[in-house]
Structures are given as C-alpha cells and as structure tokens.
Amino acid sequence: MHVDGSLPGVTTAPRCSDAKQQKATKMIQYISTWLQLRADRRAVTALEYGLIAAAIAAVIATTVFSLGGTVNSTFSSINHSM
C-alpha cells in the first residue's frame, strides 16, 4: 500500500467534478424511477380511471349546459303560474 492509500498496480478512474457527479446521480435516479413506473401496472390503471372520470365529467357538463336553458324556462313558467 502506498502512502496515499492506493494499492500498487491498481489504477483508479479520474475523479469527476461534483456538478458532473450530481448530474449523473440524478440521471441514474430518474432512469431508475422511470423503469419502476414503467413496470408498475397500477399507474396504467389509474390513468384509465382518470380518463373515464374525465369523459363522464365532460358528458355531465355538456348535458347541463345544453339542458340548462330549458330547465330554467320550465321552472320560471312553474314559478309564474303559482
């Protein structure tokens, strides 16, 4: 063992700057998380339920806006007849 703590005959990779090391670490974490989410089928199911809920909300909003005037005039005529 040398004075600096290195072993004879063993070479080490050059040191990266802290910024490069942090960037590489973040990229590895990102890829790892992406691969985990890609393999997790629960995310796909949640997305499907979200799309179904959005479609139902759109149908309800369309129905309310299209029938709103008719219902309002019906209640107004009932109110005037009382």
pLDDT band at residue 55 under the 50/70/90 scheme: very high
- For the segment 25-48, the average pLDDT, to the nearest whole number, is 83
Dihedral (Cα; 38, 39, 44, 46), 10-degree rounding: -110
CA separation for the pair 71, 64 (Å, rounded): 9
- For the segment 25-34, the average pLDDT, to the nearest whole number, is 88
Residues 57-68 have pLDDT tens digits of 999 999 988 888
When the pLDDT of each residue in the chain is averaged and rounded to a whole number, the result is 81
Q: How many residues does the chain have?
A: 82
Say what the pLDDT of residue 7 is.
62
CA separation for the pair 10, 48 (Å, rounded): 54
User: What's this model's pTM, rounded to 2 decimal places?
Assistant: 0.43
Judge contact between 7 and 13, C-beta under 8 A. Answer: no
pLDDT band at residue 8 under the 50/70/90 scheme: low
Say what the pLDDT of residue 1 is.
52
CA separation for the pair 27, 66 (Å, rounded): 50
